[in-house]
Structure 1
Amino acid sequence: MFSAALLCVFICWTATGHADHHQHCRSPNMTGYFSMMGQRAETRASGQFTYDSTNKKLRLQPNSSFPWNATLDLDLLVFFEEGILYKIDSKNQSCEKKSLQCTKNPFALPSDATYMTTMTSGSVSIEGEGLKFQVWTTPTADSKGQNIMCLTMGCLPLSTIYVSESSTSIFSNMNIELEIKDPDVFVVPSFCQGLPAEEAPEGTVYGFYDEFL
């Protein structure tokens, strides 16, 4: 019911939807801020992100200046091509290394995405008062849910609604800049190096989104 309500709100929030030219695209390198809202409308995680679209690397870091309190304080370094996620605790100099069976994430349009529609948030008739974006959908890793992803016409990810059988989450991205400000965020900390990767239990598919559930 929650996911249906979210979709209804999403449709009502937009001013218009129409057919348009569309094609798969690749997000650029980005630095910005993210928030993730859970099923009870609580902010589960928030902070700064850096995304390397060429090498498919992602760093999420908490940021104390962010205006929303979060229930999770996550520092993640993800190498999607290698299928590896590091969960970092710099304070205690500890780290978890996990194997990814699913490489989907809210910062890149996956190759199996299906175009739904092009819409405009705000006004289509007043200059500077509307944002045109595309809506895509992809199945979840277990094929029992779906992701609804919104991107600008320049392929900047605005938000992703992640819906599974047991939960619904909304990732939102803000204040995006088209650069990697600090490449060192992708360097694996010394206390994480040499760790064996934890495998998901047999019969399960572990992915990026599972860290927020």
Structure 2
Amino acid sequence: MRLGLFLPSRFCDSLWTRKMYAAITLFVFMCLTATTHADHHQPCHAPNMTGFMSVMSLKGEVKAFGAFTYDSMGKKLRFRSNESHPTNTSLGLDLLMFFDEGIFYEIDSKNQSCEKKTLQCTQHPLDIPDDATFHGEVHTGSLSVEGEGLKVNIWTGSMPDTKGHYSMSVTMGCLPVTVFYFCESTTLLFSNSDIENEIKDPDLLVVPSYCVGQPMEETPEGTVNSFLNEFM
């Protein structure tokens, strides 16, 4: 299955930024007004995925855009940003996350170096937390024209580590489309596109040879390492 969403060729274009801000505002309104159904809904878990992810602040600043590979069974995620669509406002990141093991690597393939760190929070935008609350269903686009609409479930929950909360839109097949993270200091929107239900390159989820044996970096007191915090 492939989920394709429109992405502009120039992220820094001011007109597109204004449109995105309007779209974000509209989506928040839709989430708040979604029709709530019975409480029997249980969070699903996303399949293996390959695709693209963009990260934007509510003010319209593009934090990152890049390719991701996700192993749903092994709970592994590789995200490489600012490669195929580099922009001046995007972070250059290469992250390899091992959520079950509670560790991750910040990789610099150009210099063949990396940092190994502890994960204090394993929440990420590609899977619904087990304690998420079903909020309702939303139909985007047109219901009357075949192929012109998308029905998604809205899941919400809190984030104790950041004193914030989130809102996720997920397809009926459990593919995450967008996730809002509302934190004290900022609000971030994660959008996924061109999703395919497969791991195209398994080697991306393997620790590079130059990172093997790397000692664990010390975590400063009060720091919470997570996938989300890499964009804060």
Structure 1 length normalisation: TM-score? 0.89
* Residue aligned with 1:24, SS: coil
Match 1:181 to one of 175, 197, 200: 200
1:141·1:205 contact (CA, 8 Å) conserved in 2?
Answer: no
Displacement of 1:70:
4.6
1:46·1:70 contact (CA, 8 Å) conserved in 2?
Answer: no
- Asked if residue 9 in structure 1 is aligned to residue 26 in structure 2, the reply is yes
Q: 1:207 to 1:62 in 2, by over 3 A?
A: closer
In structure 1, what is the Cα distance between the partners aligned to 2:153 and 2:167? Answer: 10
2:63·2:90 contact (CA, 8 Å) conserved in 1?
Answer: yes
Unpaired segments ≥5 residues, structure 1: none
| Paired letter, 2:220 | P
* Residue aligned with 1:17, SS: coil
Displacement of 1:18:
2.6
Partner of 1:18: 35
In structure 2, what is the Cα distance between the partners aligned to 1:160 and 1:150? Answer: 6
| Paired letter, 1:18 | T
Q: Deviations over 1:171-207 (max 9, x none)?
A: 1000001100010001111221112222433344321
Identify the range of structure 1 (58-67 vs 21-30) with the bigger mean alpha-carbon deviation: 58-67
1:79·1:85 contact (CA, 8 Å) conserved in 2?
Answer: yes
- Asked if residue 152 in structure 1 is aligned to residue 171 in structure 2, the reply is yes
Structure 2 length normalisation: TM-score? 0.82
Partner of 2:91: 72
In structure 2, what is the Cα distance between the partners aligned to 1:52 and 1:177? Answer: 12
Partner of 1:198: 217
Unpaired segments ≥5 residues, structure 2: 1-21
Q: Deviations over 1:127-160 (max 9, x none)?
A: 2221000111121242511011110011000011
- Asked if residue 139 in structure 1 is aligned to residue 174 in structure 2, the reply is no
* Residue aligned with 1:198, SS: coil
1:13·1:121 contact (CA, 8 Å) conserved in 2?
Answer: no
2:64·2:82 contact (CA, 8 Å) conserved in 1?
Answer: no
